[in-house]
Each structure stands twice: as C-alpha cells, then as structure tokens.
Structure 1
Amino acid sequence: MAKMNIENVVASTSLGQELDLNAIEDALDGAEYNPQQFPGLVYRLKEPKTATLLFRSGKVVCTGAKSLDDVKVAIGKVKEDLKKAKIEIAIDPKIEVQNIVASSDLEQEINLNTVAITLGLEKVEYEPEQFPGLVYRLDSPKVVVLLFGSGKMVCTGAKVPEAVVRAVQKIAAELRSASLMS
C-alpha cells in the first residue's frame, strides 16, 4: 500500500463578528495587512507552521497545516492572541475543512500514455506538452489526482484524510486490474 503524506490542510471558520484589521496588525507581532494588495490580514504562526488569513467580516482561513489537529491548534492560538490584544471573540469557532492536499507514491514508474487511454478520456486529462502529469478526476471520492510517470501522485479536493486513502487505493486497484502496475 502506497503511503500518503498530508502536505496542506485548508480550513475556514467565522469568528462571528467584524474585525478591525488595522488594530489587529498593530497588536500582533508578525501580522501583515496591506489592503491595497490583499483584503485580508495574514498572521503566520511558527508552531504549528501555518498562515491564517483574517478578514474584516470575521471570516478566517487557515492554510499550511499538516493535519486537522494543527488547524484546531492554530485557530485556537489566533483566538488566544486576539484575546491578549484585547479583542474578545465570543464564540467557539466551528472549523470546516475546505481542501486537503496530499502526496503519495506508487513506488514504480507508470506509462501515462497507456493510463490515459485505459482509464478513459472522460475523466482523464493528459497533455504532456502542457503539463507532465495526468489529471484524473474521481467521482467517489470526489477528488482530483495528479499522476506522474514516476508513480508519484498529488491528491487535492479531499475534505477528510480517508478520502485521499480511498482515492490512492482506487487508482492503484484500477492500474493493477488493467495490468499497468504490479
């Protein structure tokens, strides 16, 4: 079984109130707010290594986490840091995963031309002159997998880690059943 590594978890929440991003930038070390470039404030944490985007509406997006637990820790730290800066957050934010990006390796080379023909062109995009990977859109789980000739894969669009595991297992099984992989 190919092993899977979560590379990035993107999650969002709402703090349930409007935020004064200028005041937050002044209060938090490492906060960056430049509304001419981007409408949100960027707050980076070293542990867990994440970037949290805070918007005036109170919406929050956390990116760079390696797990859902890291997301929860990061958003908890942001809430605590806001509290220390005299910005009280009244609610306990409900976190919703938007996207999980994970990598995997089938540990053998794959002939992408043969894969593209075998898996069917309705779910596969492969234009090696444009991009070296084959784009495979799965319906269940609903994810997109980039498959490279090296056997390495990148899976995106998952909401739970189990979806990535199922996608990798499904692709490996399809390649084996078509005798494209040992």
Structure 2
Amino acid sequence: MMDSVPIRARPASIGAGLTLPATLQVRNVVASARVAGALRLHDLAATVPGAEFDPSFPRLILRLSAPKASALIFSSGKVVLTGMRSPETVAPALAAVLDVLRGAGAELDRPVPAPRIVNLVASGTLGEKVALHRLAISRDLDRIEFDPEMFSGLVYRSEAGGVALVFGTGSLVVTGTRSLEGARAVAAEVRAIVTAAGASLK
C-alpha cells in the first residue's frame, strides 16, 4: 500500500484560495549499501533463480516480491535498492537481498552497514491550477527552469536541497531529498513561492 506522508505545516491560503493538501504520497525510495568487498556476478547469475544479468552492463538485477523492491548488485559489492514505497521497507528489502546472496555462497561483510536512503520521490497536488509563467518571472532564474515548448512543468530547485516539478494543473512532484522531512520542506517552500507570486488560478 502506498504511504501518505503528512505535511506538518498548517495549510494556508495560496493566492486566490489555493491550498496545499494535507498529504504527500511517497512514489519511490532509492537506497544503497556496500555489502562486500567484491562479488562474482557471473557465479551469482548462475546460482540465483530469476536473477537478470547482462555482461555488457556489469550488474545483477534481483526483483523482490516481499517486500516489493528491485536490487541492482554490482561487482564492487554495492547494492542499490529501488521501487520501494516507504522508507520503512528499505531495511527488510536489504535483509532479503542478503539472504539471497548468502544462500548463493557469496562472502559478505560482517557486519553489513545499514542501508542509506539516497533519494525519495513524493507527489501531491496544490488543489488549484498554477500560472507557471507568472511563477517563473517572479523568482530567481538560477532556481527555476521553465521552457513550455520542451517540458510542460516548471522545475524549481529548492533552497532546502530538493527539486520540485510544478505543473499548471497544480500537481507537484518532489525529488532529490533523502527523508520525508526533506520532502515536506520542499513542498512548504513551493507553497510559499506560489503565495508570494499570486500564481494560483481559479
């Protein structure tokens, strides 16, 4: 089930009645961990059922069903986990990968370091349409990319460190953060700049 992440800032009016919703939905979590000094991918590919391996791109892919996630395993011993819908899924997903690797005879570090979230993607809606042209000309151009002939959304590089994709429909996608708190901070910043620009549309 998709997790909903509360935005703790109190909802406030944006422009002519535009309000940020009470939740963001987590769409994807990406995490990584180094589990070994080196891994023999050819041997693992021959041993692990369902593993996907292409020698032209040296990584092994495992697709987990419980918890649902995908793992990219590299010969350097690095594992990248993706496709998760909650930060709480990261640890059990890595544990499942480690079980598979140990079952295939791989020599792993002891202990294996805890996985680290490297990106979290969340989405929501501002509840009203947004005048992207008005928003674009109201802000520092170093933080905004807007070319409607190339891409229908406005790209805003947040002072909080993440990136927000804002669409004229009022939809919002936040990426480039490493925590739920970071996603909330970016969403709150977007709400503030739309308020300041008076960029909401009825």
Give the shorter-chain TM-score range.
over 0.9
Structure 1 CA distance, aligned partners of 2:193 and 2:154? Answer: 15
Structure 2 CA distance, aligned partners of 1:24 and 1:68? Answer: 27
What RMSD in Å do the two structures reach over aligned CA positions? 1.5
Q: Return the match for 1:143 from 147, 162, 172.
A: 162
Letter in 1 for 2:120: I
Letter in 1 for 2:84: A
Kindly tell me the number of residue pairs found equivalent between the two proteins: 180
- How big is the shift at 1:7? 0.9
- How big is the shift at 1:88? 4.1
Matched, 1:52 2:71: yes
Assess if the C-alpha contact under 8 Å between 1:172 and 1:181 holds in 2.
no
Matched, 1:81 2:100: yes
Structure 2 counterparts to residues 26-175 of structure 1, below 5 A? 26-36=46-56, 38-89=57-108, 90-139=110-159, 141-175=160-194
Assess if the C-alpha contact under 8 Å between 2:34 and 2:112 holds in 1.
no
The structure richer in strand per residue is 2
Letter in 2 for 1:32: E
Assess if the C-alpha contact under 8 Å between 2:145 and 2:155 holds in 1.
yes
Which stretch of structure 1 is more off in the superposition, 75-84 or 85-94? 85-94
Structure 2 CA distance, aligned partners of 1:35 and 1:20? Answer: 12
Please report the TM-score for the alignment, with normalisation by the length of structure 2: 0.84
- How big is the shift at 1:133? 0.4
Percent sequence identity over aligned pairs: 36
- Unaligned runs of at least 5 residues, structure 1: none
Please report the TM-score for the alignment, with normalisation by the length of structure 1: 0.92
- How big is the shift at 1:21? 0.9
Assess if the C-alpha contact under 8 Å between 1:25 and 1:31 holds in 2.
yes
